[in-house]
Every structure is written in structure tokens, then in C-alpha cells.
Structure 1
Amino acid sequence: MRLTLMTDYALRLLMHVAQRPERLCTISEVAQAYSISEANLMKVTHQLALQGWIETVRGKGGGMRLAREPKQIHIGAVIRGLESDFTLVECFGSDSRCTLTGDCRLAGMLQGALHSFMAHLDGFTLADLMPPTFVSAVPLIPARRLSGEEAQT
């Protein structure tokens, strides 16, 4: 199975926006960061907003932000919302002409594999994709300036 570029771009966009919760992100900024065309990102942004993953703000100073906390955005749900075709083989489709349908066990195995794949992704959230951040347990105290005599010793 291969995810579409739209889904790939959507996941990148979500990760980018999630790492900047203090401000709105723009399509232009995401396009530059990941070398993706703005036209493609406009389509991705539209779909993510329709599905409630992000909020958009129009106008000067506008942009996008997550509509939910990263820990509430399950990767499997995002993929299901963006992917339109999980037909791994012909017999999964409604117009199957396979003569083995009914006697074939391959379809069941592949359906199980697809289910396992999605169940695995359901176990992860956008928060799991975030890079670890360093939080100091001890507040940093600025060093005091040394006098001329102290600096020489």
C-alpha cells in the first residue's frame, strides 16, 4: 500500500503547524520548508480544515493552526479522511471481475493486513510525531561578570 502525496503533504503540514502552537503558520512557509508547491498545499489545507484538523484565518496576518491538541489527532483517522482508495487488489473493488472471488483466501489475508496497518496507525497521535523538546529541570542562571582580576586567574 502506498499513501498518496496529498496524505504525505498533510502529515508534514500537521507536524509543522504542531511545532509552532504560539503562532499561525502560512502556506508559503510550509511550502518553503518542505519544497512543496503552494497550489498543492492549498488543496491539502482545504481538506484538513474541512475535516476539522486545522483552523484557518483569512486576511493579512492570517494562516493556520491546529484545531485540536496534537494528542487528540490520531494518525489513522487523518489517513482515513484523506485516502479515498484502500483497494489493495481488484477483488476489493465493487467492479471486481476476478473469477476466484468466493474461493480465494488472499483477499481475507490482505484485508487483515490492511486492518492491522490502520490499527497500528490508530495507536499514534500527532504528539507522537513531534521531536522531543528539551525542558530544563533546573532554571538556568546567567553567569556573573568577572572583574578584571578574577578573569586573569
Structure 2
Amino acid sequence: MKPLLGSLVLLGVLTALAGCDGDADESASDPATGTSSSSTTAGGAEVVAIVGGSAAGGAVGRSITVLDTAEAQRDFLHQFRSPVFAHDVRAAIRAHPPAEGRVLGAVVIDVSCDVPPSATVEEVDGQYVVTPGKVASPHPECYAAVTSVAVVDLPA
């Protein structure tokens, strides 16, 4: 009887935990990385994707790294510890080929428990600067920080 009771209690606890967070389905479907789009523009610059990945490393910046050569892209991606995350960022870059007279850039916009839902681009002192959008319901804690990269379409 005691083993059966213990199993029922454990099942009840697991069921309760599974239903605690409305975001549980979102994180379960995307365990390590995620890609979203945002289209906030300034002076012809547009955020075309935000890529997030757990425990990827990288340094938060505000200035965009222009990815106009394969070497520039390699140098930018080299900062990430996770080859899977670097692959996901590269895939987002490839998914948004720039039009004639345009170039792509990227910047780490956040390292925290959440991927920002959007990002804004502003022109400050002749440079494009990306600021992450506010997370409406931030996670109070996380097991590994999530690195978020904005991919930006820029005038050449």
C-alpha cells in the first residue's frame, strides 16, 4: 500500500508542476534555441530576426557588427560557445538575404533568462543601435542564461 501511495503522491506533484506555468509549453517545444522576427525600423534599418539560445555566451553590445563578408560573419559567430547556437544565427542570416544596396548586421542584444519579444533600431551619432524590447512576463530564474542576437537589415 505504501509504494502505491508514494507513486500517487509523486504523480500528483508532477501533474501540479506541469500545470504551474502557462509558458511551459513554449519552453518545452523549444529547449535550447528560438528564432522570432521583429520589424521595427529606423532610417531604413530593420530587425529581421531575433535568435535566442541557452548557454551560448557572447557579449552584449549596442552597436551592430556589419556582416558584409564571410570573414566578418565568422568573427561575429566566433564569440559563441555553442556551435548549435552559431548555426542557428547563421541560418537566420541566410534566411534574410539583403537586397541590392543593403547589408546584414548582427548584435547580441541580451543575455538573460528570456528572449526579448522585439527590438528597436535607432540611429545615434551616425550609427545604428539596437535596443531589446521589454519582456512582459520575465522568468524569475533560469537554469542557463539565454543569449539573444538581433539580425538587422541595413542600408549599405
Q: Same fold (TM over 0.5)?
A: no
Which protein is bigger by CA-based radius of gyration?
Answer: 1
TM-score by length of 2: 0.25
Identify, as 1 or 2, the structure richer in helix.
1
